[in-house]
Chains A and B, each alone.
Chain A
Amino acid sequence: MTFRAKHLLGIEHLAPDEITTLLDLADQYVDLNRRDVKHSDTLAGLTQINMFFENSTRTQASFEIAGKRLGADVMNMAMQASSVKKGETLIDTALTLNAMHPDLLVVRHPHSGAVDLLAQKVNCAVLNAGDGRHEHPTQALLDALTIRRAKERLHRLSIAICGDIAHSRVARSNILLLGKMENRVRLIGPPTLMPSGMEEFGVEVFEDMREGLKDVDVVMMLRLQKERMDGGFIPSEREYYHRYGLDPEKLSHAKSDAIIMHPGPMNRGVEIDGVLADDINRSVIQEQVEMGVAVRMAAMELLVRTRREAAQEQGVMV
């Protein structure tokens, strides 16, 4: 088993063998989660705090279920970023929480790099549940697990990521992960939603969706935030759907067995056709949600193992 990371801040810091280790363990948790009794005592006696400085229902619920199934004591803190004086409070809150000796801290924050900053100030393992436009590592890992189970491999695949790449932490983490596992990554989107210098990451950039989707194995759609639709980045919702929304015709350019993914929540009729999203032969969107819990269980267990091993080396029991 190979997993050395002390925190899960981003895919950037993970090596390919660590990713494989994590996915292998997550596979086992998928089995556990499908049983009647879904419980393990791996994290019994440990405290997990979920700090969400940005609203989230799905990710927070997923982390909460993951922690509870592993026997951890889970606490949710809704940090309304708008009501606190940002930043200052971030460090202060981190120090305050640290004094309560949590073992796992799950953090989502609207600013890129904020979770890295917080991780420097606490003694426990920190999991990044999404920071600004930077990274969302557990999303990329659950996407990877979904792909690996559907395609029976996670290398030499052609994968298209479509939509608002510029504002997407999901896209960044996926580009890094899929690149590390030696896949061909294509980015598709209007140029106003494409960050600069992307070609330097070893990906191909397409403005034409049909061209970009040609012969891909996986179509990964991204959510288009409502606030980007006001004419600032794209002219209108309907023009966006016409050019970049996934419909059966555009999908026909991909391989016939290509799978459709979406990190959710979906805007049906904006980035994806509603019928396609529900097509159980093509869409793996529900599997993604299922894999999310398993991947988060695996991530937390591995981080705790790393800490326990480090403590044992120092002759201290945790």
Chain B
Amino acid sequence: MADLLFTNARLIDPEAGTLTLGSLLVKDGRINEILPQDIDLNDKRFPEGNRIDCGGKVLAPGIVDIGVKVCEPGERHKESFRTAGLAAAAGGVTTMVTRPDTIPTIDTPETLEFSKRRGAEMAPVRIAPMASLTKARAGREMVEMGFLMDAGAVAFSDGDNVVSDNKVLSRAMTYARSLGALVMGHPQDPNLSKGSAVTSGKFASLRGLPAVSPMAERMGLERDLALVEMTGVRYHADQVSTAVALPVLERAKAAGLDVTAGVSIHHLTLNDLDVGDYRTFFKVKPPLRSEDDRVAMVEAVASGLIDVICSMHTPQDEESKRLPYEEAASGAVALETLLPAAMRLLHVGAVDLPTLWRALSLNPAKRLGLEGGRLSVGAPADLVLFDPDAPFVMDRETLRSKSKNTPFDGQRMQGRVLRTFVGGTEVYARA
């Protein structure tokens, strides 16, 4: 593989928490050297031809996105490894951590191997598959965790099917602990949130939609964390989205539990009022929260209490969304909008670039034991070059995903991915 030299780039190092002007040398698909701006580029150890002048734009580790739904197997009309991979590459996502909530569920080594193989063949970015925690995500029997880990499962999650039987969950967690496996939970009390479409409050009451109290999230998180304390398992909450849940998370971390938490980009950039006149593209799970909650989540990302920002990429076709709000499917595509939406947090001055990349690439990679996500010598050259300021109007028809269900359609955004590299190979270049 030819060497590659990026020059004149603003480099994000999320480990050091720095943003510095400099150059970066890639050899054999890995980061070989990070150089200050004043280096003599005529040095013969640098490649002559393969040079990319970044023009002062930002070069960062590629995004490691926990919780991407690919819809393959089962619903390839909504999304495939090919289209999700292209969307990821165009969005600066170099590792898709895929969800097991497909049809059938990824709950055996055989189905996991199918995902890995399809991903490797069809997607230009890396795939790190998750498996379900219980068979068919039914919440009754645990999956073959040992075999699945051997096959490459990076975490175990039943997604939004909350395991309601505490005995089942405690046993699965105990078994996972013995293997050092990461269990990912969806903190939500399933009874309190049953049938709900929006978060309770003035808006829900005005629209007459079935609503759930934010307290259902805290109750779910408290239940999960009690079992984490009991079993000692490594635990990641897929999405924490309410202010009332944050003190619970903070206490668990202070008590030394091996706990991390994520938040979706939608809960950082949108609130419940955005649903407006029953716009189903804004229906996500958990539902969009109040503005106070949104602000609290942004602050928690800035402080590091929330570890991970993810897209929660969930493709839905038009038929699933063009329904009365209560009946419409939940979820939004976000692989391509994750980075520009995250730039909103930068441009309002809420979070700086190194902090954002700690949550977008470093922390998820560390939590899953993946190599990427770092801008350090020896790390794989999974890189994204982007212009954080470039403005554009989002047009959902331009998305590479098969499904176009983005809440950002027609909105003004800032932040364009220019080029994306996986292992030093270019997988996307903006035309």
Contact = CB atoms under 8 A, between A and B. Distances in A.
A252 interface: no
Contacts of A133: 208-209
A150 interface: no
Contacts of A45: none
A113 B277 contact: yes
B322 interface: yes
A196 B205 contact: yes
Interface string A229-266: 00000000000000000000000000000000000000
Interface majority SS on B: helix, strand, loop or mixed? loop
B327 A198 contact: no
Interface in B54-110: none
Interface stretch (B176-184, B196-204, B252-260, B419-427): B196-204
A200 to B, nearest CB: 4
A197 B202 CA distance: 4
Contacts of B202: 196-198, 200-201
A88 interface: yes
A73 interface: no
B327 A197 contact: no
A132 B211 CA distance: 14
A68 interface: no
A109 B325 CA distance: 12
Nearest to B326: A111
B347 to A, nearest CB: 30
A69 interface: no
A274 interface: no
A200 B213 CA distance: 17
A276 interface: no
Contacts of B211: 195-196
A117 B205 contact: no
A88 B322 CA distance: 8
Given A87-B323, A112-B326, A117-B278, A172 B204 contact: no
A135 interface: yes
A112 B209 contact: yes
B49 interface: no
A149 interface: no
B208 A112 contact: yes
Given A88-B319, A196-B200, A196-B211, A113 B324 contact: yes
Interface size band for B: 20 to 34
Interface string A69-97: 00000000000000000111011000000
Contacts of B327: 86-87, 111
B324 A90 contact: yes
Contacts of A113: 207, 209, 277-278, 324-326
Contacts of A213: none
Interface string A93-134: 000000000000000010111101100000000000001111
Nearest to B327: A87
A113 B324 CA distance: 6
Given A134-B208, A198-B205, A111 B319 contact: no
A86 B320 CA distance: 12
B360 to A, nearest CB: 34
Contact of B207 (A91, A134, A198): A134
A116 B278 contact: yes
Contacts of A296: none
A169 B208 contact: yes
B290 to A, nearest CB: 10
B208 A135 contact: yes
Most A Cβ at <10 Å: residue of B205, B208, B209, B322:
B208
B278 A112 contact: yes
Interface in B149-207: 200-207
Contacts of B201: 196-197
A201 B328 CA distance: 27
Contacts of A114: 324
Contacts of A88: 319, 323
A136 to B, nearest CB: 10
A90 B328 CA distance: 13
Nearest to B205: A195
B323 A172 contact: no
Nearest to B275: A113
A177 to B, nearest CB: 14
Contacts of B213: 196
A195 B199 CA distance: 12
A112 B322 contact: no
A88 B324 CA distance: 9
Contacts of B209: 112-113, 132-134
A117 B321 CA distance: 11
Given A86-B327, A87-B323, A87-B324, A112 B207 contact: yes
Interface in A151-183: 169, 172
Residue of B201, B278, B328 with most partner-chain A CB within 10 A: B278
Contacts of B323: 86-88, 90, 117
Interface string B204-227: 111111010100000000000000
Contact of B277 (A87, A91, A116, A195): A116
A96 to B, nearest CB: 15
A112 B205 contact: no
A114 B278 CA distance: 9
B319 A117 contact: no
A176 B264 CA distance: 34
Q: Which of A112, A198, A201 has the most CB of B within 10 A?
A: A112
Contacts of B324: 86-87, 90, 109, 111-114, 117, 132
Interface string A183-218: 000000000000111101100000000000000000
Contacts of A112: 207-209, 278, 324-326
A238 B213 CA distance: 29
28 contacts: A86-B324, A87-B328, A88-B319, A90-B323, A91-B322, A109-B324, A112-B209, A113-B207, A113-B209, A113-B324, A114-B324, A116-B277, A117-B324, A131-B208, A133-B208, A133-B209, A134-B208, A135-B208, A169-B208, A172-B206, A195-B200, A195-B205, A195-B211, A196-B202, A196-B204, A196-B213, A197-B203, A201-B205
Given A87-B327, A87-B328, A135-B208, 6 more contacts: A86-B324, A111-B326, A195-B204, A196-B202, A197-B201, A201-B206
